[in-house]
Amino acid sequence: MKIKPEHLEHIKEVTSKFLHDNPRMVTDYENGRFDRSRLVKDLQQRFCFDLLHFSGLTKWVCAELYSYVGDDHIYTALKSVCPEVKRMY
């Protein structure tokens, strides 16, 4: 994983807090209760990047991470810290 450990830890802390404050998010995604759910091909990827965005990290990612990694590396990092979601719809 190319993401620096301190950046990974920051992502983990912020997304964990968001999920703690929004406990229904995983269930909502698993059941297709989010915008344009029927169009999603990779639910885990959509969930991870939506969680990153909803956690308020978009500007931070652009400023810090995109200077040295791309989306594939960011997704790998997100998969390591985000809960797994299963499509049930």
Rounded Cα–Cα distance for residues 61 and 75 (Å): 12
Question: Residue 89: inside a domain, yes or no?
Answer: no
Question: Residue 23: inside a domain, yes or no?
Answer: yes
Q: What is the pLDDT along the chain (89 residues), one digit of tens a residue?
A: 899 999 999 999 999 999 999 999 999 999 999 999 999 999 999 999 999 999 999 999 999 999 999 999 999 999 999 999 999 99
pLDDT of residue 1: 81
Those residues whose C-beta lies under 8 Å from the C-beta of residue 50, and which sit 6 or more positions away, are 29, 34
Tally of domains within the chain: 1
Question: Residue 63: inside a domain, yes or no?
Answer: yes
Rounded Cα–Cα distance for residues 10 and 87 (Å): 28
pLDDT of residue 8: 98
Question: Residue 68: inside a domain, yes or no?
Answer: yes
Question: Residue 87: inside a domain, yes or no?
Answer: no
Question: Residue 52: inside a domain, yes or no?
Answer: yes
Q: Containing domain of residue 46, as a range?
A: 5-81
The pair of structure tokens assigned to 39 is 């169009």
Question: Residue 33: inside a domain, yes or no?
Answer: yes
Question: Residue 46: inside a domain, yes or no?
Answer: yes
Measure Cα distances from 35 to 39, 54, 72 in Å.
Answer: 9, 13, 23
